[in-house]
Amino acid sequence: MAYLDTDVRYLKGIGEKKAQALNKLGVYLVRDLLSYFPRKYEDRSEFTPIALTLDGENACIQAIVADTPRLVRIRKGMELVKFRAVDDSGSVDITYFNSPYVKDQLHKGQCCNFYGKITFVGNKRTMANPVHEDENTVGGITGRIVPIYRLSAGLSQKLFMSSIRQGLDAAGGELPEVLPESVREKYQLAQAGFAYENIHFPTDFESLELARRRLIFEELFLLACALGKMKGSHSAADGIKMADTDMEEFFSSLPFTPTGAQIRATNDAMRDMKSGKAMNRLVQGDVGSGKTLVAAALIWYAWKNGKMSAFMAPTEILVEQHMASLEGFLGKFGMRIGKLTGSSTAKEKREVKSKLLNGEIDLIVGTHALFSDDVEYKNLGLVVTDEQHRFGVNQRSSLIGKGDKPHVLVMSATPIPRTLALIIYGDLDISVIDELPPGRQKVDTFAVTESYRTRLNGFIHKLVTEGRQVFVVCPMIEENEELPDNIKSAEEHAEELSRRFPDLRVACVHGRLKPKVKNEIMQAFVIGEIDILVSTTVIEVGVDVPNAALMIIENAERFGLSQLHQLRGRVGRGRHKSYCVLVSDTDNEVSEARLKIMTQTNDGFKISEEDLKLRGPGDFFGSRQHGLPEMHVADLCTDINVLQMAQIAANELLAEDADLYKPEHQALRKAVERLFELNADTLN
């Protein structure tokens, strides 16, 4: 067996317990360990003469222990070890808190390396709890650039360093070079062995950068190859060839003029549908950009070509809304529109299924129920899925298997920076709707603390009195979740608001209600019978209530930025001036920065780019929202170039050897297969 596939529990220094702690971090085999990259590095490579160290600086010094370390007991449970250390230039007072054993590790006259923070007390230099080791230590934690790993309970930096060292020494020669030499040369990438050595134990920062660049490239390149292969296998499929059709009849029937971006997206898709190959296209557009119209145009186009369409939405409420807007766009042409959801009665289901089988429906709108095994279609030409975060890559492809290769259009409001979208949706062609319908107003957004509660309530009352409606969103109530006191639970918050506003109509929806009840409440809000709707994020996806002019998000720090943006998109859909208020008492800097971004821009792409900068793509990829494998190399934001390069290189390579058949591509092929294996649930 290859050493890389050895279980980490067999490494020196790792027993059953530590192995379990490592497993929790996703580390099972030596190969996982070697791919567990440092979170950051500390530059301890330079020794600074004590006299030149600055107040507040982290410094590495080489000094002699000048007196015998003494144990001082300040009070019960508080022990200090104190001594002075000197070099040619000066001295520093060193203290260890609650580490009595240090007294026996260090002795007068010993020459040691220390690394820690220098603090000036009066005119004296001090260091508290520095790391220390004998000056002659080889491969230690001073005198070099030191990797810092993300830890969990029971693990230490030292353990990571020593076990990774073991792994590299034993398996270094075995590390597969998955990048073909031609690719490595063309893009000037370091070799695998060098990269793994230097990402963990860089000899200098230049080597670290080379290692990082290579590993990021490798990871993205593998993913791009995997997705490229999937795309290749889809688009090789023959599709229904549709004829040229004059769209004027459809477009001139609309109550408004379509935007240029809507027309472009429609044309992109029509080009696919005429090509004879099956379409696989993503239409990406910010909330409110008018994606439904694009779908309607294509459904109409398919109908003109004698084909029926299926439109799938993630929730029943959305099915209702899409039904309404699609009827508005298409009903007047005499198209026959049907509905199928989980809550359709047995009788309704039977009827709809028989109509679908007999070709008596031109458009069916529904939830997942549309694609259960017992539903058969006659003449299915187009499948539209309104993705809105909810469907992963795998569900998309399960639709494609239905009937004889219908065209597939995926709509997504997840604003992903374009460069990332290239990879995340690498198996689809992309059209971006980058223009909002005219006259859209910006939603004024405010981030406030609890101390604004009274004013906020006043504002709610004023708006409702003017005839507007209000959304209030609270963080999700998980089943059995113990909510910290400050987290608003939707139900409690709704009760509080009803007490506060006895004259207003307050209702609450959350995920634990039966779909039917949830639906009734949502409908009541849509037709204006409720003034304030308190909810968990069930309203996140697409409901259209043009009269709603205020979105309040409680404990806003608990939401992701793109989620906040989606939620905000629920208001500002009518002609009324609209507002979004983010309530949060967080004092976490990153959370504050994220909320601030919301107050500064309404542009979803910009928000996601800023989010990317704040969180790093490690998180972005790690969130699994997109249904892709987790990435290991964090902090890609500065590496958008590498991302693009990897994409281009993958395309070039697949163009030359689509099946990765050539001998020089075997290592790559294995790695791609491994990626598919590990992610069988998402990549298929």
Residue 542 binds Mg ion (CB under 5 A): yes
Scanning 273-281, 293-301, 540-548, 618-626 for contacts with Mg ion by CB under 5 A, the matching segment is: 540-548
CB of 285 to Mg ion, least distance (A): 9
CB of 440 to ligand ADP, least distance (A): 8
Scanning 7-15, 151-159, 252-260, 358-366 for contacts with ligand ADP by CB under 6 A, the matching segment is: 252-260
Distant-in-sequence, close-in-space partners of 278: CB < 8 Å, separation ≥ 6: 234, 235, 237, 238, 239, 240, 400, 405, 406, 407, 408
**379 contacts which partner out of Mg ion, ligand ADP, none, CB within 5 to 8 A by kind?**
none
Residue 256 binds ligand ADP (CB under 6 A): yes
Closer by beta carbon to Mg ion, 413 or else 460: 413
CB of 517 to Mg ion, least distance (A): 24
Instruction: State the sign of the Cα–Cα–Cα–Cα dihedral 315, 318, 323, 326.
Output: negative
Apex CA 501: angle with CA 533 and CA 464, to 5°? 60
DSSP per residue, 356-412: HHHT--SEEEESGGGGSTT---SSEEEEEEE-TTT--HHHHHHHHTSSS--EEEEEE
Size of the site for ligand ADP (CB under 6 A): 17
Closer by beta carbon to ligand ADP, 290 or else 415: 290
Residue-wise burial string across 198-236, b where 16 or more C-beta atoms lie within 10 A, e elsewhere: bbbbbeeeebbebbbbbbbbbbbbbbbbbbbbbbeebbe
Count CA atoms closer than 13 A to 432's CA, side-chain side.
13
Closer by beta carbon to Mg ion, 292 or else 584: 292
Here the tokens at position 57 are 């600086």
Residue 338 binds ligand ADP (CB under 6 A): no
Q: In whole angstroms, what is the distance from residue 285 CA to residue 259 CA?
A: 12
Closer by beta carbon to ligand ADP, 259 or else 341: 259
Scanning 56-64, 146-154, 254-262, 555-563 for contacts with ligand ADP by CB under 6 A, the matching segment is: 254-262
CB of 328 to ligand ADP, least distance (A): 8
Please state the length of the chain. 684
Closer by beta carbon to ligand ADP, 193 or else 437: 437
Which pairing describes strands 407-412 and 380-386: parallel, antiparallel, or unpaired? parallel
Closer by beta carbon to ligand ADP, 285 or else 338: 285
Closer by beta carbon to Mg ion, 570 or else 615: 570
Residue 292 binds ligand ADP (CB under 6 A): yes
Report the residue from 140, 143, 228, 285 that binds ligand ADP according to the rule CB under 6 A: 285
Which pairing describes strands 407-412 and 444-448: parallel, antiparallel, or unpaired? unpaired
Residue 683 buriedness (CB in 10 A; 0-12 / 13-18 / 19+): buried
DSSP per residue, 163-195: HHHHHHHHHGGG----S-HHHHHHTT---HHHH
Phi, psi dihedrals of residue 540, rounded to the nearest 5°: -50, -40
Here the tokens at position 280 are 């696989």
- Residues 530-589 binding ligand ADP (CB under 6 A) are 542, 544
Q: In whole angstroms, what is the distance from residue 333 CA to residue 313 CA?
A: 23
What is the longest distance spanned by two Cα atoms in the chain? Answer: 96
CB of 384 to Mg ion, least distance (A): 11
Residue 244 buriedness (CB in 10 A; 0-12 / 13-18 / 19+): exposed
Distant-in-sequence, close-in-space partners of 287: CB < 8 Å, separation ≥ 6: 413, 542, 565, 566, 568, 569, 570, 604
Query: In a 3-state reduction of DSSP, which class is residue 307?
Result: coil
Closer by beta carbon to ligand ADP, 87 or else 286: 286
CB of 295 to Mg ion, least distance (A): 9
Closer by beta carbon to ligand ADP, 224 or else 312: 312
User: Pattern 193-222, binding to Mg ion, x per CB under 5 A?
Assistant: ------------------------------
Closer by beta carbon to ligand ADP, 435 or else 635: 435
**258 contacts which partner out of ligand ADP, Mg ion, none, CB within 5 to 8 A by kind?**
ligand ADP
Tell me, what DSSP letter sits at residue 47? Answer: -
Scanning 39-47, 135-143, 288-296, 483-491 for contacts with ligand ADP by CB under 6 A, the matching segment is: 288-296
**289 contacts which partner out of Mg ion, ligand ADP, none, CB within 5 to 8 A by kind?**
ligand ADP
Residue 293 binds ligand ADP (CB under 6 A): yes
Residue 326 binds ligand ADP (CB under 6 A): no
Closer by beta carbon to ligand ADP, 135 or else 435: 435
**Taking Cα atoms as reference points, which of 471, 542, 551 lies closest to residue 324?**
542
Closer by beta carbon to ligand ADP, 179 or else 473: 473
Secondary structure of the chain: what % helix, strand, coil (to 5)? 45, 20, 40
Residue 287 binds ligand ADP (CB under 6 A): yes
**419 contacts which partner out of Mg ion, ligand ADP, none, CB within 5 to 8 A by kind?**
none
Asked if 474 and 556 count as a contact pair (C-beta separation under 8 A), the reply is no
Q: In whole angstroms, what is the distance from residue 384 CA to residue 8 CA?
A: 46
Closer by beta carbon to ligand ADP, 329 or else 579: 329
Report the residue from 53, 62, 289, 608 that binds ligand ADP according to the rule CB under 6 A: 289
Residue 437 binds ligand ADP (CB under 6 A): yes
Q: In whole angstroms, what is the distance from residue 665 CA to residue 684 CA?
A: 21
Distant-in-sequence, close-in-space partners of 427: CB < 8 Å, separation ≥ 6: 227, 228, 230, 231, 234, 280, 393
Report the residue from 62, 163, 259, 309 that binds ligand ADP according to the rule CB under 6 A: 259
Closer by beta carbon to Mg ion, 295 or else 532: 295
- Residues 611-670 binding ligand ADP (CB under 6 A) are none
Residue 415 binds ligand ADP (CB under 6 A): no
Report the residue from 69, 180, 288, 475 that binds ligand ADP according to the rule CB under 6 A: 288
Residue 604 binds Mg ion (CB under 5 A): no
Scanning 253-261, 364-372, 397-405, 463-471 for contacts with ligand ADP by CB under 6 A, the matching segment is: 253-261
Q: State the residues that interact with ligand ADP by CB under 6 A.
A: 256-259, 262, 285, 287-293, 413, 437, 542, 544
Q: State the residues that interact with Mg ion by CB under 5 A.
A: 542
